[in-house]
Amino acid sequence: MDGPLTILGIESSCDDTAAAILHQPIVGDAEILASVVHGQTDLHAPFGGVVPEIAARAHAEKVDLCVEEALLAANVSLKDVDAIAVTAGPGLIGGVISGVMCAKGLSASLNIPLIGVNHLAGHALTPRLTDQVAFPYLMLLVSGGHCQFLTAHGPEEFSRLGGTIDDAPGEAFDKTARLLGLPQPGGPAVQAEAAKGDPKRFRFPRPLLDRPGCDMSFSGLKTALLRQRDAIVTEKGGLPMQDRADMCAGFQAAVVDVLAEKTRRALDIYLAENPSEPLLAVAGGVAANTAIRAELETVCAHKSVAFTAPPLALCTDNAAMIAYAGLERYRTGARDGMDLSARPRWPLDQTAPALLGSGKKGAKA
């Protein structure tokens, strides 16, 4: 368990098929030897969202190829692989099954350990892979499918401080883009428009700020935006470019304000546990947003808390994070058998009340 380790990671829980090879010399920094991601954006584009059946079929077709590509890029052969880590949930079940079946086949034929990984743990442990961050740290996971604050106490020990009760912020960015005729994925497009707009002209709601705690809500924002758009179109017969930019700026400002205030509250809860070197890490595709990132850095600076965000390729879905989370589980002695099941819903904090509804990734976890 303490020797050098080469681990293969497989990810297929949403619309990216990915494989990665990680090597950890003895105990210490792990090195990413290869990380391959095949996205499915083009396949789903005509439908305006991820279609689970199409995703599952594409994962089943691509997963072996991804593994081969990763081995080739890492210059590693299958017999050099010591263990296989695979996302076993939460996510779209057909995709998760494709990855789990591939991993089981490899594990059985090579006679090496199989480690099932929670996709959210993959995101949440990434700051340890990239920055060797020590437990306990506060994590804000903010993507197209997820939005939650977690205190990471150990490789499999997380407490959820709060999360979205409806849409994830990435979903809100994507829906905003759709409403305003901007391309998908919506985040980068809305951010670019917002840069040209006046964030004060339209005042969109900041949901749940009047309620205590760290839970968030983003679906009302989209409805307010739709109403504003329709009012402009009725009045002007169309949506002028500047109005669109101002709406994007107003929308982004609302998301920034909500995330900043809820982060302040989450930090207060986390800081009450007295971590000696407090740190907030943010991951997920929305962490690419420069306005959100800058505001979170400011919030942390005011509370003398360190801030980190993994490089973008490791913020969004990838298999290096799954290999790393598998490696941490492997080092604790955890192993899974052929009865490892694929789970659509798998909250990281088993004691927290379930989040209701479903998003881009299927059921909320």
Rounded to 10 degrees, what is the CA torsion of 95, 101, 103, 104?
A: 160
Q: What is the DSSP string of 1-45?
A: --S-EEEEEEE-SSSEEEEEEEEESSSS--EEEEEEEEE-HHHHG
> What x-and-dash track marks residues 280-319 binding ligand KG4 by CB under 6 A?
----xxx-xx--------------------------xx--
Element (H, E) at 260: helix 241-271
Crossing angle for the helix pair 186-194 and 169-179, nearest 10 degrees?
Answer: 70
Quick one: 323 exposed, middle or buried, by C-beta within 10 A (0-12, 13-18, 19+)?
buried
**Dist CA 297 CA 291 (whole Å):** 10
Residue given tokens 């700026």 in the structure block? 249
Q: Judged by CB under 6 A, how many residues of this single chain contact ligand KG4?
A: 20
Considering only 360, 362, 364, 365, the residue that binds ligand KG4 (CB under 6 A) is 360
**Dist CA 141 CA 139 (whole Å):** 6
> What x-and-dash track marks residues 81-110 binding ligand KG4 by CB under 6 A?
------------------------------
Considering only 52, 95, 144, 155, the residue that binds ligand KG4 (CB under 6 A) is 144
170 binds, among Zn ion, ligand KG4, none (CB under 5 to 8 A by kind): ligand KG4
- In the complex, the smallest distance separating the C-beta of residue 192 from ligand KG4, rounded to whole angstroms, is 8
CA 210, 211, 215, 216 dihedral sign is negative
285 binds, among Zn ion, ligand KG4, none (CB under 5 to 8 A by kind): ligand KG4
SS3 content of the chain, % helix, strand, coil (to 5): 45, 20, 35
Residue 155 or 362 having the CB closest to Zn ion: 362
Q: What is the DSSP letter of 47?
A: G
Determine if 171 is a binding residue for Zn ion (CB under 5 A): no
Among the listed ranges 81-89, 141-149, 223-231, 236-244, the one in contact with ligand KG4 (CB under 6 A) is: 141-149
Residue 159 or 184 having the CB closest to ligand KG4: 184
Determine if 317 is a binding residue for Zn ion (CB under 5 A): yes
Residue 5 or 124 having the CB closest to ligand KG4: 124
Residue 113 or 250 having the CB closest to ligand KG4: 250
- In the complex, the smallest distance separating the C-beta of residue 190 from Zn ion, rounded to whole angstroms, is 20
**Dist CA 235 CA 260 (whole Å):** 34
The residue ranges that bind ligand KG4 (CB under 6 A) are 14, 143-145, 170, 173-174, 185-188, 191, 284-286, 288-289, 316-317, 360
